[in-house]
Chain A
């Protein structure tokens, strides 16, 4: 209960609106969670394989990468922005790491550091393009870098995947401890840190403030540009972290890895109750959004629904989630 109350604080939408936002946020969070529970219940009834330990661990493994990317995406969407380049950053970061550890044979620790650093730097470039070059919208800057980083990934690898990573790098994406995938433990740790960052630090609150009203934020003395650079740097870093998990899952780094991952990440954030208009969104909602997508795909696989139909269902769920948001806004107005 406490954390929900904290969530509301950063809403800089004018103090008189605070109460309404209260209820809305509550519903936002519960709505997605309720959807997830109902989904799981239906799947449990439909197929006996769904509610088994093995399968639940599969789901946790499958949700990890998208969760990490989606948390980065969440920050950009709260600022009323977007990051289309996360899939490409992921690919570029992991192939550079691959070159360091596999091709050059250097230490795996250096490899991991390279991956994360490349991701963060790539994200920082996104932020600088947005704030220094004053490109009109992150949709444009990150659309550009989406192509740039994908192209760079193909160039540095001569378009071939890199195989055979040392166990230390594979560890995060591959191994489990007491049956629970390490990749998901990473998600939980990062989610808690992200939650605290968004709700307990001034930068975190600035992020909500910028999304609520950028000009007002600027006028009230918030260093908007600096915060935006931080947001995109984190998004790039999270993409690289997702890449680290992907390496372990595939024991390889492919320059075409992460194609269309940005779309799954955006879907998770939106299903999780964030708004494209900015200023709204929570870490917990985003994780639940990612879970809904993963559970949906997993369950449909188990039932034996063709992937063509699965794509249709995911699309419908996104539309439904946004529609609920629209209904909610309308009701709020009345």
Chain B
């Protein structure tokens, strides 16, 4: 009996030793914090924590790269942490609580929903500036919001889609997670613009920002509305799924998304998807860290900072793909 217990303990110890090794190697910016934890800026470097709502998409990896690049460029004692997936809204709360223990000088956070406001309020109470990136929250405590204006991005995407169609044409919309602000803003932007341009929306259903779900939902929409002329999807992952369904039915419809993920860019450059509006998560996180330093220096920053977005078509998709791949180190 004792033997099995030793096994268990031994394995736990080994796992931890390995992990400890991993984390120190993998997070260089982190390792120098050991010497100065407790005392605020032991070596004068400002301590900035960047926390993201997820790590299971390329989008988040780009933001991670942006944050780490900024840590390096501005000589920051930075910490980067991310929750596993954005649907787990409590994990990011736990991470934020844990980071508060380390008493960073400033926090750059990509939240998932308003559920994180109470914990962000605790940063506020401790006098730590909080800068939101990518996802805006209706919360007075934030120092700024840096990101894409999703409503405008939706409108831009709609304009591009409409330019490929003629007045009176019918389209379908694949929505993301219902209730998520990013989704509502994008879809509203698209709907308003399309109405203005005289394009009819015959179906609008949610596929939870998920590529696989998008295939099924799109297939069903095509069965019910075989005559549609185009598709808008609230992100690129669903765009790729929708394209799959469209091509599976032997159709050739323009599919337009938002985000600018690498597989979408590749698809666009090969004549698959008809276009996307690319966001710049790298720039969001980079600007987040840069502006956090400005706040710490007592500088005044804008309440809303646009991280930029642009229309990607077959003409510029390859170029954008190269740029993103370089950032991802591919």
Which residues does chain B contribute within 8 Å of A34, judged by CB atoms?
Answer: 5, 9
Which residues does chain B contribute within 8 Å of A246, judged by CB atoms?
Answer: 90
* Cβ-closest chain B residue relative to A331: B1
A311 vs B94: C-alpha distance in the bound complex, in angstroms? Answer: 14
Question: Which of chain A's residues 301-318 have a Cβ closer than 8 Å to chain B?
Answer: 301-311, 313, 316-317
Secondary structure class of chain B's binding surface, majority of residues: helix
Can you list 22 residue pairs at the A/B interface with Cβ under 8 Å? A27-B5, A34-B5, A38-B9, A42-B16, A48-B37, A54-B100, A58-B97, A154-B178, A160-B178, A250-B118, A252-B113, A298-B94, A303-B23, A305-B22, A305-B23, A306-B55, A307-B95, A316-B11, A316-B15, A320-B11, A323-B7, A324-B8
- Check if A327 sits within 8 Å of B4, measured CB to CB: yes
- Check if B118 sits within 8 Å of A249, measured CB to CB: yes
A157 vs B178: C-alpha distance in the bound complex, in angstroms? Answer: 11
* Cβ-closest chain B residue relative to A32: B8
Q: Does B13 contact A (CB under 8 A)?
A: yes
- Check if B115 sits within 8 Å of A252, measured CB to CB: yes
Q: Does B116 contact A (CB under 8 A)?
A: yes
Which residues does chain B contribute within 8 Å of A88, judged by CB atoms?
Answer: none
Question: Which of chain B's residues 102-117 have a Cβ closer than 8 Å to chain A?
Answer: 102, 113-117
A160 vs B119: C-alpha distance in the bound complex, in angstroms? Answer: 20
Q: How many residue-residue contacts, CB under 8 A, span A and B?
A: 154
- Check if B9 sits within 8 Å of A161, measured CB to CB: no
Additional 20 contacts, C-beta under 8 A, given A34-B9, A161-B115, A298-B94? A23-B1, A27-B1, A34-B5, A42-B13, A46-B16, A158-B179, A252-B113, A254-B113, A256-B87, A297-B94, A298-B98, A302-B98, A304-B27, A304-B79, A305-B23, A307-B91, A316-B11, A324-B5, A327-B3, A331-B1
Q: Does A204 contact B (CB under 8 A)?
A: no
A1 vs B41: C-alpha distance in the bound complex, in angstroms? Answer: 50
What is the number of residues of chain A that contact chain B, defined by CB distance less than 8 Å? Answer: 61
Which residues does chain A contribute within 8 Å of B82, judged by CB atoms?
Answer: 306-307
Which residues does chain A contribute within 8 Å of B249, judged by CB atoms?
Answer: none
The 3 closest A-B pairs by CB, nearest first: A250-B115, A159-B178, A327-B4
- Check if A301 sits within 8 Å of B114, measured CB to CB: no
Q: Does A147 contact B (CB under 8 A)?
A: no
- Check if B118 sits within 8 Å of A38, measured CB to CB: no
A160 vs B177: C-alpha distance in the bound complex, in angstroms? Answer: 10
Chain A residues at the B interface, C-beta cutoff of 8 Å? 23, 27, 31, 34-35, 38-39, 42, 46, 48-49, 52, 54-55, 58, 61-62, 65, 154, 157-161, 163, 174, 246, 249-252, 254-257, 259-260, 297-298, 300-311, 313, 316-317, 320-321, 323-324, 327-328, 331
Question: Which of chain B's residues 197-234 have a Cβ closer than 8 Å to chain A?
Answer: none
Per-position contact with A for B101-140: 1 when CB-CB < 8 Å, else 0? Answer: 1100000000001111111000000000000000000000
Question: Which of chain B's residues 161-198 have a Cβ closer than 8 Å to chain A?
Answer: 177-179
* Given A31-B8, A307-B55, A320-B11, residue A257 in contact with residue B102 (CB < 8 A): no
- Check if A257 sits within 8 Å of B89, measured CB to CB: yes
* Cβ-closest chain A residue relative to B82: A307
| Most chain B CB atoms below 10 A, which of A39, A297, A324 | A324
A316 vs B5: C-alpha distance in the bound complex, in angstroms? Answer: 16
* Cβ-closest chain A residue relative to B117: A251
What is the number of residues of chain B that contact chain A, defined by CB distance less than 8 Å? Answer: 53
- Check if B20 sits within 8 Å of A62, measured CB to CB: no
> From residue A72, how far is it (CB to closest CB) to chain B in Å?
18
Which residues does chain B contribute within 8 Å of A54, judged by CB atoms?
Answer: 100-101
Q: Does B84 contact A (CB under 8 A)?
A: yes
- Check if B19 sits within 8 Å of A305, measured CB to CB: yes
- Check if B83 sits within 8 Å of A38, measured CB to CB: no
Q: Does B323 contact A (CB under 8 A)?
A: no
- Check if B97 sits within 8 Å of A259, measured CB to CB: no
Which residues does chain A contribute within 8 Å of B329, judged by CB atoms?
Answer: none
> From residue B16, how far is it (CB to closest CB) to chain A in Å?
5
> From residue B97, how far is it (CB to closest CB) to chain A in Å?
5
Q: Does B30 contact A (CB under 8 A)?
A: yes
Which residues does chain A contribute within 8 Å of B80, judged by CB atoms?
Answer: 304
A276 vs B30: C-alpha distance in the bound complex, in angstroms? Answer: 41
- Check if B55 sits within 8 Å of A250, measured CB to CB: no
Q: Does B40 contact A (CB under 8 A)?
A: no
* Cβ-closest chain A residue relative to B56: A308
- Check if A256 sits within 8 Å of B98, measured CB to CB: no
A56 vs B30: C-alpha distance in the bound complex, in angstroms? Answer: 22
Which residues does chain B contribute within 8 Å of A300, judged by CB atoms?
Answer: 19, 23
Please pick, from A23, A38, A58, A321, the residue contacting B98 in the complex, using a CB distance under 8 A: A58
A23 vs B1: C-alpha distance in the bound complex, in angstroms? Answer: 10
Which residues does chain B contribute within 8 Å of A163, judged by CB atoms?
Answer: 114
- Check if B22 sits within 8 Å of A49, measured CB to CB: no
- Check if B88 sits within 8 Å of A260, measured CB to CB: yes
Please pick, from B13, B38, B95, B101, the residue contacting A38 in the complex, using a CB distance under 8 A: B13
> From residue B69, how far is it (CB to closest CB) to chain A in Å?
17
* Cβ-closest chain B residue relative to A301: B98
- Check if B19 sits within 8 Å of A313, measured CB to CB: yes
A311 vs B81: C-alpha distance in the bound complex, in angstroms? Answer: 14
Which residues does chain A contribute within 8 Å of B37, judged by CB atoms?
Answer: 48-49
Which residues does chain A contribute within 8 Å of B94, judged by CB atoms?
Answer: 58, 62, 297-298, 301
Q: Does B251 contact A (CB under 8 A)?
A: no
* Cβ-closest chain B residue relative to A164: B114
* Cβ-closest chain B residue relative to A159: B178
> From residue A215, how far is it (CB to closest CB) to chain B in Å?
30
* Cβ-closest chain B residue relative to A255: B179
A160 vs B180: C-alpha distance in the bound complex, in angstroms? Answer: 8
> From residue A259, how far is it (CB to closest CB) to chain B in Å?
5
> From residue B18, how far is it (CB to closest CB) to chain A in Å?
10
- Check if A254 sits within 8 Å of B15, measured CB to CB: no
Please pick, from B9, B81, B179, the residue contacting A301 in the complex, using a CB distance under 8 A: B81
A154 vs B98: C-alpha distance in the bound complex, in angstroms? Answer: 31
